[in-house]
Structure 1
Amino acid sequence: MTEVSLLDEPSLDEPPVVVRSKRRVSFGAAQVGATLICLLIALAIWMWAFGVDPNAQDLSQADLSPFSPGHPLGTDTLGRDILSWCARGVLTSLAIGVAVALLCALAGALIGATAGYLGGWVDSVLMRLVDLQLAVPPLLIFLAASMVIDRNIVSMVLLLASVGWVPYARLVRATVLSERERGYIAAARLAGSTRLGIVFRHLLPASATPIVVFASLQVGFVMLVEAGLSFLGLGLEPPVASLGYMIAQGRDQLGSAWWIATSPGVFVVVLILATNLIGDGLRDSFRMDSVGEK
């Protein structure tokens, strides 16, 4: 009879079981996150379809009414419905987060792939541009931009994207540096593929997995930054609904009207938690796939 020690390494038959178990957990977390996102979007669309205006003022409720059938989450000092504002703010935050992540992924991937594949002075110039971007605190950029731009959704997306592309460039560059010396890239060169063709057909697809994972996690971070800027008065302003702006409106009434700041704060937490669950699920799923292939 063969003795089995607890110190023995696991057999080759065990990793697939562990991989499948972890994949189910990751898929379940991603499902929870996706369900929360769908519920929030459904709430916002439902209120939008019924013509509920978050900027409408109910003067009869301007005395900081906490809860009523017409205002389930109460009203603020101007009689605006908190629930309708939060529902519209969810759509605003998601739109900004997804748009910024897409723009950053596109710009960062192109810059990183170009720097990694061409190398030489091109790589040096582009990486010094990355270093310059990292040397400037984003808050200074936001302060300067708030004085000269119209703070709407489009300008906020462009502003956040201007400082969010750097991680993608460094991530893709590192991937390209490790991939460009592989045999299939040399075969593509011998087959007559151009540099542009190699970048778009081979190197960028090889970087797709880390890009997708990082983008899914960045959406939540961008939404948190947007809420923080709006809270500080550097972000969106009415008539655009922003969760951070509503939190700022209620910070002086936390003792007498706690629901003004608490309700949008809860929506921010749930929204960011949901996007992070999706991102973590995608990350773990891709990781398990790579382990399973081995």
Structure 2
Amino acid sequence: MKLLTYQTQKSEARLGFIHNDKVIDIQNFGDVMQFPLPSTMLELIDMGDLIIAEINSLMKSCDPGDLIGISFTMEEITILAPIPKPRKNIIGIGLNFTEHVAESARTLDTSNELPQKPIIFSKPPTAVTGTNTNILLNPKLTQQLDWEVELAVVIGKPGKYVDKKEALDYVFGYTVINDISARDCRRAGQWIVSKGQDTFAPMGPILVTKDEIPNPHDLNLSLKVNGVEKQNANTKYMLFNINELIEDLSTVFTLEPGDIIATGTPAGVGAGRSPQEWLWNGDVVEATVEGIGTIVNTVKEINV
């Protein structure tokens, strides 16, 4: 199922799903079918995997006429981030593609040795923004704004000490994240100032449930800046795949429904180019993951 958080001119944020190129409001769909359904993504995730099968079953028995009053065209809505306000920090994974390790070692102060365990950092919930919004560039903080397309995993149930063989059972779905980074804002090796500024986690445009992505380890990733391709790779080249990440992370701390894991970016970031390239006011960034979609954001310089 393709899920999204949206709003109209008359509504606050609402939860919907895409059907025949239209957005069906989930809570209103539940009212029509006399089956209580929530109005937010996190509430839906809390209901577990089986709720998706239940909604699909209800759709098969639904009269198409009943959907007319609860559906919208894409032109009638504004798409927000799938989870506009995560409960916790986004879990980021650094240096998870071999060529990105090499390019980072050439131009940043990271090691050229492949990580033996996942490198973990985080981005605050306030970093989240949706597609067709601005990435805010504060020139007093950074002159090295960079891009990173990533597949994001959304956890669907609590997990502690998860065996990697069972790890995908804990996944609810997948979305796209652009891990925006201010390369000159790292402090003593710590990344959160570089990674965690407001709007530095564009996410979306939708969340695709795991039943529609049978193999998350064979998805193309790409990113364009002003229409020029900068990154192009595949999730099969991750150093630590999703199963291994979930096993490792759940050993450190309990994973909970709605947790978001940004699984790392491939080579092609601005810091790794010769000469280096950075994002500036007015630049348009498009981050794409196969089977999910594209998030589009424009850099906007702010003066504070």
Q: Looking at both structures, which has the greater relative contact order when contacts are Cα pairs under 8 Å and sequence separation is at least 6?
A: 1
TM bucket (normalised to shorter chain) is: under 0.3
**Higher normalized helix content (fraction of residues):** 1
TM-score by length of 1: 0.25
TM-score by length of 2: 0.25
**Higher normalized strand content (fraction of residues):** 2
